[in-house]
A and B are shown apart, each in its own frame.
Chain A
Amino acid sequence: MPSPDVIPRSWFAANGENSDVAVSSRVRLARNLADFVFPRFLTQEDAERVHALVYDACTAKKGNSFRFTASAGIEQVMRSLLAERGIISPEDAADPRCGVILNDTGSVSCILNSGDHVRISSFLAGFDMSSCAKLAFELDETMQKRIQFAADGEFGYLTSSFKDVGSGLKASVILHLPALSITGMLDRVIRNLMSAGFAVSGFYNTKDGNTLGAFFQISTINSGTGSAEEQLSTFSDAVMRVISTERASLHELAVVKPTVLADMAYRAWAIAQNARFISLKESVEIISRLKLGVNAGILPIEHDRLYPLLYTVKNAYIQIRLSDPSDVLSQQIESDVSDDEQKNNRMRALLIQQAIAAGQG
């Protein structure tokens, strides 16, 4: 079992701005060191030099508490956990030239030698682009005191992919849009976002292509227009319009279809409170409907209790909990639950019930 202090604690447990609709925000900055070829052509020796240079630059500022781990030193279950949290892809985690730098809560991370030498990411619960971007740019600024990043007078920051040339910035948000989905307005909203130059994808997709729980990721596609501030502002305006539309749709639903809404919420509430086994797929659907019920004022659960469950019901986190003999919930699993899949589903049910019990107002 990985040492608990390696596991990034929960930045997503905080109660963020606009967290009735927004699950989390992310800002990523792609940077490259001026004196090294890009990671695709980097030797192992130079990759390790990049690790040392970047880590030294990160920790040069007093008060910065970052931890570095080379990908070869990350255990399999931790690789899965970091992938679940969008920090490092499984492919990068398997590349010995890659490495990851994390702060205490996992809210700021830096992946080394994945496409670009440096990919700084900041995460925040809810949607607040300027605060989220501030976290990433602070680390960028700290690094720039010691590292010369590659740039060009015409292109801006130089990156491996042409999509990132310019600011190197990619902004994204996960939104929960059940009311737009129910009222049938979702397709139009997605089309508008895509025609405005943003990418939209389902956040939890089944193998047959369906999106679970009406969770959608919206992100910028390229970094080459205007300044980073302008890119963030354009993205922020577009996302806030979607959030407002979702709120308006929910308000309309609560007036026009209150019984339908209440049925959806109470069904999910009944399963969440009483079921003994809940699969990942069912968990996502239940979390979605519970949150819909909370937003509509039907269910008495605190706002900040539900979205964090989206991260904790995933497989790697469940595995870590189950492999810890001192874990309180793990100890509650009954002796007749012996099958691995059943244990996973039992742990999910317990996690959901614990969150609901703690969050009842």
Chain B
Amino acid sequence: MKCDICGIRDAVFFIQQVSENTANELHLCRECAEEKGLAGRGNQLRLSLAGLLTDIIQDGLPSVAEKCSVCGITLADIKKNKCVGCAACYQKFRSEIIAIMDKEELPHSYSGTRPQLLAGFRSILSERENLKRELSQAVAREDYETAAQLRDRLHCMTGGTDDAQS
């Protein structure tokens, strides 16, 4: 069985978390277990399974990081320069951007045409955001098998680095 974190090495740690009605398992190789503080450091074994995936989904939580997970721009930077770093910023910081525009007396009541969606077009940027959201939800409901699959898809999409394009 492969490690749920790296997906490459064989799993040697099998962790089961039992809650009131469900039991979830996580399978880890030694390297990933050590990296997560689960091997050789008994005092950290109280860590929740959700915590193991926190770093993967951290960028998808705007309230925590206040940073766009696609381009890496901070909300502070956006507020200072009145510019965003990518189209996804408008989704992530929608209410904050509207507040900035209102403060600057910049209208946002455009009623004209939008570009037509090209047949078969799928935005890599929005797809990535959707996957992160699904990953976050999977972790929240402690569905680690799905979370690991989503993580692998994200990994492939970003070419091996979660900070691609930043």
Contacts and interface: CB of A to CB of B under 8 A. Distances in A.
23 contacts: A32-B87, A34-B87, A34-B125, A37-B70, A37-B71, A37-B165, A41-B166, A144-B115, A148-B115, A148-B118, A152-B91, A153-B114, A157-B114, A157-B115, A158-B90, A162-B84, A162-B97, A162-B104, A165-B106, A224-B108, A225-B107, A225-B110, A226-B110
Contact of B106 (A146, A160, A222): A222
B166 A226 contact: no
Interface string A135-165: 0000000001011111111111110111101
Chain A interface extent, by class: 35 or more
A40 B85 CA distance: 7
A224 B110 contact: yes
Given A37-B70, A37-B71, A162-B100, A151 B114 contact: yes
8 nearest A-B residue pairs (beta carbon): A227-B112, A166-B110, A156-B110, A150-B87, A224-B107, A37-B86, A149-B115, A37-B71
A155 B98 CA distance: 10
A162 B82 contact: yes
Interface string B147-166: 00000000000000000011
B165 A166 contact: no
A224 B106 contact: yes
B110 to A, nearest CB: 3
Given A41-B166, A226-B110, A148 B87 contact: no
Interface residues of B, number: 37
Interface of B: 70-73, 82-87, 90-91, 94, 97, 100-101, 104, 106-118, 121, 123-126, 165-166
A227 B71 contact: no
B121 A161 contact: no
Nearest to A222: B106
Contacts of B112: 156, 166-167, 226-230
A259 interface: no
A35 interface: yes
A162 B165 contact: no
- Main DSSP-derived SS at the B contact region: loop
A288 interface: no
A29 to B, nearest CB: 11
A153 B117 CA distance: 12
A341 to B, nearest CB: 40
A96 B62 CA distance: 33
Interface in A155-210: 155-158, 160-163, 165-167
A67 B138 CA distance: 50
Contacts of A38: 71, 84-87
B124 to A, nearest CB: 5
A144 to B, nearest CB: 5
Max chain A C-beta neighbours (<10 A), residue from B97, B112, B116:
B112
A157 B116 CA distance: 11
A252 interface: no
A38 B88 CA distance: 10
A120 to B, nearest CB: 13
B108 A41 contact: no
A46 interface: yes
Contacts of A223: 110
A298 to B, nearest CB: 45
Given A155-B110, A226-B109, 16 more contacts: A34-B121, A35-B124, A37-B71, A40-B83, A41-B72, A41-B165, A150-B87, A152-B87, A152-B91, A155-B90, A155-B108, A162-B101, A163-B106, A165-B110, A224-B106, A227-B113
A43 interface: yes
Nearest to A42: B165
B100 to A, nearest CB: 7
A303 to B, nearest CB: 35
A227 B126 CA distance: 26
Contacts of A162: 82-84, 97, 100-101, 104, 106
Contact of B73 (A41, A144, A146, A167): A41
Contacts of B86: 36-38, 41
A166 B112 CA distance: 8
Contacts of B82: 161-163
Given A160-B84, A161-B82, A224-B109, A35 B115 contact: no
